[in-house]
Chains A and B, each alone.
Chain A
Amino acid sequence: MNYSVKNSLRLVAFGLGVLCLHGCLELVRRPAAGEPIGYEYASVADTTATSAATVQPAPMLVIIDRPKRSRQQLQNIEQVNKYALWCIENAMWNEAQSHMERALTQDSLSASLHNNLGVIYERLGMADKAAEFYGRARALNPTREAYVANLRHLQQYQQASLDSTDSLDIFRADDDPRPRTRRPDHSPTSTGE
């Protein structure tokens, strides 16, 4: 193996390492703003983004001064987020929810806790609550793209869901249960304070 190939491999390995590290820190790779969503109805959702806003108005964006936290507080938030992730990996969403809610009672200005609790609510089917918490996370930390994306994604998903079920209504008997569309695989983020 010649020298340049070895260097290339090292470079690739380094790149993979960076990606892994980034993946660990950012637990979910969200699509960036404006990027198309990779679902079948993505284009529909994309075009109905404006109407989605009319269906469910986005929460008013209130910029809150980001509070300064002690190292201990940051560690606590980190711990809770980490534990919530562990719970989710073990399919214990209720446990994750309980701990996040409890953590919020102790630190109500943590953007990441709000965001992650939003993810959990969304997974548990509480879309309204999820939107509210995404909104709060965005208000607490407007610079964090993931929070904005989560909220937009939820709204797009809701709209897409509404549109697709509406279009299928004409083919379905009234008493049939409505098929549930595939949900995006959301997971919480780490602190991101």
Chain B
Amino acid sequence: MQAITRFHSLACAALLAWGTADLCAQDILTLQLQQGFGKNKVRYRDFQWEILESEHIELHFESEFQNLAVQAIEYLEEGYDHISQILHHDLSHRPPVVIYQSHYQFQQTNIFPDFLPPGVAGFAEPLRFRMVVPFAGDLDEFRNVLVHELTHIFQYDIVHKGPIRRITSPIAQPPTWLMEGMAEYTTPGRNTIDEMVLRDAVLTDGLIPLETMNQAWGQGNVFLAYKQSHALMEYIAQQYGPEKISRILRLWDSQHDTDKLMDRLIGMDLKTLDERWSAQMRKTYWPLLQTRDYTSEFAEKIGDDENIHSFSSACWSLSGDMLAVYSSDGIEQHVDIIRLSDASLVERVTESMRAADYDHLSIGSGTVAWAQDGQTIAFVAKEGPRDRIMLWNLYDKKLVQTLTMPDLDLVESLTWSPDSRHLAFIGTGQGQSDLYIIDVQTGERRQLTGTPEREDYPNWSPDGQRIAFSSKYRNQFDIKIYDLTENVAHAAISSPTDDLWPQWLPEGNKLLFVSTRDKINDLFVYHLDEGREFRLTRSLSGILNPALSPDGRQIVFNTYFKGRSHLYRMAMPEWPEVKRKDAQLLARVAEAVPPAKAPPPVEAEPPTEAEPPATETLAIEVPSVRPMVEGDAVLSDQGGTPSLGQVSDPKDPDLPDDAVLLAGASGLLSPTESQEPQAAVQLADDTDDELELRRRRYTPKLEFDGISVQMGYFDGFLSSIAQLSMSDLLGNHSLVLATDYVAAQDISNDFNFAASYSYYGKRPTYHVSIFNWNQYFINDRNFLVQGRAPARGISRLQQRGALANASYPLDLYRRLDLSYTYVGEQEEQVSPFYEPDSTATSTHLFKTAYVHDSITYGLLGATAGKRYFLSVGRTLSLGSTTRSFSHLEFDYRHYLRLGRWSVLGLRAYSVGSLGRDALEYNLGGPTWFLPFYTGFNLNTGPLRGYQFSAFTGSRVLLTNAELRVPFVRGILFGWPGTFLIPAIDGSLFMDMGMAWNKDDEIDLWPFRNPHAALTSSPRQVHASVGFGLLVYFLLPMNFEFARQMDLQGNFSDFKFHFSFGQSF
């Protein structure tokens, strides 16, 4: 909505300059009448901003999460020193940093005008060097994103060299993979998920070629592109020295060709670098094949490769026959019940719920949970400003209850109590995430933990008295158990690596969990009574989101293979078998390592219950020994990522490979140190003094966003528009000033200007404009001037007036628009002599509209959902010189999916301009002939097979049906230059429409015969069919062939249309 309004003001100014005689009188009015679609950026609350200033940072925050702000300043100052040392640079100014306490509040930022989808962790923008980051529940992740974005600010400062350069060359910056790779390089080390993605790409030959890496940011596997870029930077730093990283940006100043840049930097071109780095990656990861198993070797895949859905957050039904999952096919997300045997869909829980019951499903971990009575499925969905827990009844097959918690923005990791009355979950609000339980019948909620550190993955014990969960301290997850009777939590499993996803076995004295030993997620079982742990898997891919079946006999889990997530199931071994498995896996590693590195001897014989094997004694002590061969190989080969507070030398043997950062401190802690007894992290009150922070209130101040100058020539007129944009730092206030110069023979320019102000600080948004705009056009009169050849007359249309728009978003998908427009128009002859026109007119137009838009977009148009609007307008008639008409417009579009990418689009459209001064609309041809075609705002296509704007009338009816089928996804061309065409679709379409005026005779049947002469009366319905090729290259382009028809077997020849944009 906001983007539309902004575009609206720009388009308004542009169109004023490009107007032609026939259209000028209607330009501003039709622009105001033209109703836009689009989702809304809803400001659910009024933010009260304050500023904390430190030595290098200006942090914007709200006082209700002050502790988080102080923590953020610490992270940023540490990060500043760290990045500064790597890049050998100090910022020329203090960058403004804006933090939000949750992603949903971050989505309300006005610094970025468009909708920010889930998954965007933060952004930095190069124009005003602002960075915006939300807290997503985990302080370590928060720090990483802050450092990542701060690196971008450094990059902009180096590349753009201050404000002047940034205005003159805002676009010229190194390739994305260099920028992002560098930002990842300065961010604390890779986690096991990062490793998993990179390892999978190496082992399955799925690495993105370096020459096409940039395209991956537009169309490919973005996550892999990030990780690959990171690994490349590490490789360069390791092989050629860390100083090369800072040299990249300096070299970019004189060398914009990446191939030559690399040649100057490290003496090899991109292709050679790619080959050598790939070889290094293979040497790192291929040895893992010796000691690890493919997931398919110990588990069975649920579903086949043809299944386009990816499943996560799996949870079991009562019988174990079915799973409830969060499923996504890349376009739509749902909670589904699938059959365990073949992953076929049994029931779509969230059918037709999006837009009706929630905005979108939450994508966090554990956002689906099936109650242990088998009757209720809980899932998390975002509705309004925060997550809600939705309860769906299996028997009634409907949503029966919604749980809302006003103080919590994010809800994750649901788990049901055994009596199916309580839910435990992780809630994030006011800059902190904690463990909660809620009574679903009464809504009574209880907070169990209260530290700033992250808690996650709770799981209720079979007796209902305890909850096991992962708790982070000093950058590492351990497993704790919360005793609900004594209200106390105690550590259960603690190792130098992350211990995640605890799951109680039915016996109640054992926990299944995932641990990141050797930097790969594997399954373990921990016996609480014996205090021992046993390894269940030695997986190559890694294991995520395990869920134990109700009888404890099966485990489903996610793994990552060939670039996508898969759901697997494996049998949970009986207890003696667990012990044997552990011994076997340990023995296998012992066999694979050289004798010098071998771990302590292991009994080769399968252990028995009567005589526990030596391996059992390892239990929790095993990781501390740490001769886990392949993990070490990985670390030593990679050299590790430098941690904050210290520039790492990859060759420095003293630097621990898996060093972790102490939260709130700048030093490094070794894994052993991080095992010290835990204490709640307190954000010291005196931190302000230590950091010398200054605090003040935020006051809006307008600053320059940019200046744009557009020039053009049209029909004898040279026109140029200069536009100046200003806004405050938070983007709540926006001011646009535009002025225009028009030059033509015998024309003296007047002062043209338009000024518009927009306010986005509250839920309703406002926009006002005033303008005084003169337009010149050649009229149809000829004059003899001083006996010379006839000269064409030139008229000037003067338009002055004001616009006022208000928009109130009801939610993400629906809004109400209201506008008032006043335009005074006067036309006069200005050349070859001045002749005032007495027919001055004015218009007072009031318009309102209701808009619904819940479609999902693809590159070539909508892929699913529906959008519609109803717009009603009326002018205020104050006399004969004021325009008098009413406006009624309705547009309904529905997009039905017919497969993963195929879509059938249906549309019904009608517009009527009624009254004495009714406007005329055009019909015919594609929707957009050219983006800057002056009459586009009056065209109501597409009605293909006919001339552009072939029909006119004050009333239009139009229907369209179009089937779009994917032909190509991602075709890479090597010449000229390397470029990617992301998508080519084929289309079959049928259009029907007619335009008529009030008193026209109408003949609805039969449709007009294409071979009959075109007559203005009676008006007939025009129809066409055709096919087309829709190509996305920078923007959508349509190559369409259509023939007129009358539904009785008569067809015209094919007519070819080329147009830009999405047809509908």
Contacts and interface: CB of A to CB of B under 8 A. Distances in A.
B394 interface: yes
Nearest to A76: B395
B750 interface: no
B373 A102 contact: yes
Contact of A98 (B319, B339, B346, B396): B319
Contacts of B374: 95, 98-99, 102
A94 B319 contact: yes
B319 A92 contact: yes
Contact of B321 (A80, A83, A94): A94
A83 B394 contact: yes
Contacts of A95: 317-319, 321-322, 374
A102 B373 CA distance: 8
A83 B318 contact: no
A98 B318 contact: yes
Main secondary structure of the interface of A (DSSP, over half): helix
B853 to A, nearest CB: 35
Contacts of B396: 79
A97 B319 contact: yes
A93 to B, nearest CB: 8
B320 interface: yes
Interface in A91-112: 92, 94-99, 102
Contacts of A80: 395
Contacts of B395: 79-80, 82-83
A90 B346 CA distance: 8
Interface in A47-85: 79-80, 82-83
Interface in A130-161: none
Given A79-B396, A83-B394, A102-B373, A92 B318 contact: no
Contacts of A83: 394-395
A53 B590 CA distance: 65
A117 B443 CA distance: 35
Contacts of B346: 90, 92
Nearest to A84: B395
Contacts, number: 34
Nearest to A80: B395
Given A99-B374, A102-B373, A102-B374, A94 B394 contact: no
A99 B373 CA distance: 8
Contacts of B320: 94
B393 to A, nearest CB: 9
A95 B337 CA distance: 13
Which range contains the number of A residues in contact with the other chain?
Answer: 10 to 19
Interface in B371-401: 373-375, 394-396
Contacts of A97: 319
A82 B373 CA distance: 16
Interface in B286-343: 317-322, 339
Which range contains the number of B residues in contact with the other chain?
Answer: 10 to 19
Contacts of A99: 318-319, 374-375
Contacts of A92: 319, 321-322, 339, 346
B482 to A, nearest CB: 27
A102 B318 contact: yes
Contacts of B319: 92, 94-99
Contacts of A82: 395
Interface string B114-136: 00000000000000000000000
A75 to B, nearest CB: 10
Nearest to A94: B319
Nearest to A92: B321
Contacts of A94: 319-321
A83 B318 CA distance: 13
A77 to B, nearest CB: 11
A34 B339 CA distance: 41
A92 B317 CA distance: 11
Nearest to B373: A102
Contacts of B321: 92, 94-95
Nearest to B320: A94
A7 B101 CA distance: 72
A121 to B, nearest CB: 14
A90 B337 CA distance: 12
Contacts of B375: 99
Nearest to B318: A98
In this complex, the member of B346, B394, B395 whose beta carbon has the largest number of chain A beta carbons within 10 angstroms is: B395
A82 B393 CA distance: 13
Contacts of A79: 395-396
Nearest to A90: B346
Contacts of B318: 95, 98-99, 102
Contacts of A98: 317-319, 374
Contacts of A90: 346
A57 B14 CA distance: 94
A134 to B, nearest CB: 22
A97 B319 CA distance: 8
Interface string B665-700: 000000000000000000000000000000000000
A152 B566 CA distance: 49
Interface in B13-62: none
Interface string A169-183: 000000000000000
In this complex, the member of B317, B319, B322, B396 whose beta carbon has the largest number of chain A beta carbons within 10 angstroms is: B319
A90 B319 CA distance: 14
A91 to B, nearest CB: 9
In this complex, the member of B318, B321, B322, B375 whose beta carbon has the largest number of chain A beta carbons within 10 angstroms is: B321
A189 to B, nearest CB: 17
Interface string B356-378: 00000000000000000111000
A98 B317 CA distance: 10
A96 B320 CA distance: 11
B420 to A, nearest CB: 10
Contacts of B373: 102
A54 B657 CA distance: 78
A102 B374 CA distance: 9
A102 B376 CA distance: 14
In this complex, the member of A90, A95, A96 whose beta carbon has the largest number of chain B beta carbons within 10 angstroms is: A95
Contacts of A102: 318, 373-374
A95 B324 CA distance: 13
Nearest to B395: A79
B374 to A, nearest CB: 6
A82 B396 CA distance: 9
Contacts of A96: 319
A34 to B, nearest CB: 37
B377 to A, nearest CB: 13
A48 B940 CA distance: 81
A107 to B, nearest CB: 14
A49 B360 CA distance: 61
In this complex, the member of A79, A96, A99 whose beta carbon has the largest number of chain B beta carbons within 10 angstroms is: A99
A138 to B, nearest CB: 26
A92 B323 CA distance: 12
Nearest to B346: A90
A181 B9 CA distance: 79
Contacts of B394: 83
A94 B553 CA distance: 15
A97 B374 CA distance: 12
Nearest to A97: B319
B592 to A, nearest CB: 41
A144 to B, nearest CB: 23
Nearest to A82: B395
B117 to A, nearest CB: 35
The 9 closest A-B pairs by CB, nearest first: A98-B319, A79-B395, A95-B319, A94-B319, A98-B318, A95-B321, A83-B395, A92-B321, A94-B321
10 contacts: A80-B395, A82-B395, A83-B394, A83-B395, A92-B339, A94-B321, A98-B319, A98-B374, A102-B373, A102-B374
Given A83-B394, A94-B319, A102-B374, 16 more contacts: A82-B395, A83-B395, A90-B346, A92-B319, A92-B321, A92-B346, A94-B321, A95-B319, A95-B321, A95-B322, A95-B374, A98-B317, A99-B318, A99-B319, A102-B318, A102-B373
